[in-house]
Amino acid sequence: MQRIFAVIMVVALACVGACTGTAHAQQVKSEPGHFDFYELNLSWAPEFCSNLNTLSQQERAAENNMECRAPHSFVLHGLWPQNFDGTYPGECAYRPGPRNPERNLDMTPSLPLLKHEWAKHGTCTTLSPEAFFATARQAYTSVAIPDQLKKLDKEVMMPPDQILSMFYRANPSFPQGSFSLSCGNNRLTAVVACFSKDSVQPIACQGLRSCRANNVKITPPDNGSMIVQ
């Protein structure tokens, strides 16, 4: 189980830097509530699950990872406090997490990841655990996923700008610059959306860089078990 959780962290968390182009982002010490905006990270589940294929069936079963037992198109990796200068606060205070984290498995299908998200990011807000995940849900459900990605039935290659354009068309109220793309090894790994700190409304991202690949491959869902958002 520890090995699989390590894979989750390497595949998902490492992409915050190397995959989005924010490799130089720096975690800073900060008091809870001292940040500028929220970054919503939506992980592309098919690519994440394809990286678990190197693990044995027994190891995957031990993790009981719902993301890959009944995967979605995009799942919520996390809602992260960010600063306009590209830095971000992390692990700002010790506070117990939500009493019933399993209530959030429909958007983040991994209990270890939910606990990590609260400890590293949620504690940098002044919100209670329940309010933090309710805010994450508000932002998560406000993003419409383009139909082209919901209906994907084979691997395709697209320029990052084309993928972002699909998100802007699906979300006409989002301003330009409010989405960015994460990629790793020229493959789509996540889409990022930025939200205001207080009203949780979409805003242009600052201090983030989008995927710089000329084209990225998009791993298709497993149509036998895929549940789209």
Which residues are marked as active site? 77, 117, 121
Task: Please report the sign of the dihedral spanned by the C-alpha atoms of residue 14, residue 121, residue 110, residue 203.
Answer: negative
User: Strand ranges (DSSP E) for the chain?
Assistant: 27-28, 37-44, 74-82, 88-89, 156-158, 179-184, 187-196, 216-218
Rounded to an integer, what distance in angstroms lies between the CA atom of residue 213 and that of residue 160? 7
| Parallel, antiparallel or unpaired: strands 37-44 and 74-82 | antiparallel
Question: Based on the number of CB atoms within 10 Å of its own CB, is 89 exposed (0-12), middle (13-18) or buried (19 or more)?
Answer: buried
Q: Which is nearest to 191 in space by CA: 138, 229, 145, 135?
A: 145
CA-wise closest residue to 206 among 78, 86, 38:
86
